[in-house]
């Protein structure tokens, strides 16, 4: 059975685009990016931008991203997958990044939330001129790296942007 990604949250001010691979089961159920309670994404973002405690409301979370000129989307538009792990993805289709970058030309940095999102993107689109790529440790609970280590690496990335 095919599963589908969410619409992007990007506006004309977006300079940094964070890309996951595909929403996990809990995110699909709640219809929110990074909805699994053990996913570190929102804790990292809220820590980086002094927005703790993490808002409960998804729209408030998106507001934090937009205030900091950050957009969010997934590399894949749809795929087949059992469970939430990227290694189980098959029969996938990528989102339309050619048109996205034409529509939002201020995007100059892509932060990949995990190696798999980067791998899927590179395989289809390669290196796009004028855009800097950063591959971060996945914020997923499947990545057993500590929150502190993830935060340190993500913090270094945002210092560069």
List, by residue number, the catalytic residues.
Answer: 39
User: Cα separation of 45 and 41, whole Å?
Assistant: 6
The shares of helix, strand and coil residues in the chain, as percent rounded to the nearest 5, are 35, 20, 40
Contact 112, 134 (CB under 8 A): yes
Going by C-beta distance under 8 Å and a sequence separation of 6 or more, which residues neighbour residue 50?
A: none
């Amino acid at each position: 059975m095919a599963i589908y990604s969410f619409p992007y949250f990007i506006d004309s001010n977006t300079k940094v685009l964070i890309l996951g691979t595909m929403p996990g089961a809990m995110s699909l159920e709640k219809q929110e990016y990074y909805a699994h309670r053990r996913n570190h994404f929102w804790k990292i973002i809220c820590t980086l931008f002094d927005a703790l405690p993490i808002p409960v409301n998804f729209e408030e979370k998106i507001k934090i991203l937009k205030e900091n000129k950050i957009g969010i989307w997934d590399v894949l538009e749809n795929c087949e997958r059992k469970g939430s792990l990227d290694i189980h993805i098959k029969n996938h289709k990528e989102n339309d990044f050619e048109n996205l970058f034409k529509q939002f030309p201020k995007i100059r940095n892509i932060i990949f939330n995990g190696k798999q999102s980067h791998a899927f993107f590179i395989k289809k689109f390669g290196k796009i001129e004028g855009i800097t790529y950063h591959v971060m440790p996945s914020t997923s609970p499947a990545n057993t790296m500590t929150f502190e280590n993830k935060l340190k690496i993500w913090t270094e990335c945002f210092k560069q942007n």
